[in-house]
Amino acid sequence: MAKDNLEERLRTHVSRLAGDIGERNVFRPLALEAASSYLERQWREQGYAIGTLAYEVSSIRCANLEVTRRGGVRKGEILLIGAPSPSSTRSRRSSVQCSREAWSMQQRRDDGKMTSG
């Protein structure tokens, strides 16, 4: 069931991140905020608590999002899944980077449906 429409969901996320929002860095702060809002909304809809680790670069507010889920069996262990941070250059973000972000988001979605761990 977790794999149903996986390809479609990934395409939707990549299209939104790479296409609609596009390049995001300190030279495009509105795009940074749009990507952050999109990712945060997607994860909240999946039932995750979101923490924000904010910092400034060249007077631009940036943030890393922290998504957590407590395990059942191994409560003291941590699994860290990350996505690349925005590029610091004016180059266009590759769809590979956006694909990683989409995969990370879907991995959390699918992991939430698992009954063990």
Measure the CA–CA gap between 95 and 22, rounded to whole angstroms: 9
pLDDT at 115 (0 to 100) = 36
pLDDT at 30 (0 to 100) = 94
Q: What is the pTM of this model?
A: 0.66
Q: Which one, of 80, 111, 81, 83, lies nearest residue 98 by Cα?
A: 83
Measure the CA–CA gap between 72 and 25, rounded to whole angstroms: 37
What average pLDDT does the segment 56-63 reach? Answer: 89
What average pLDDT does the segment 21-46 reach? Answer: 91
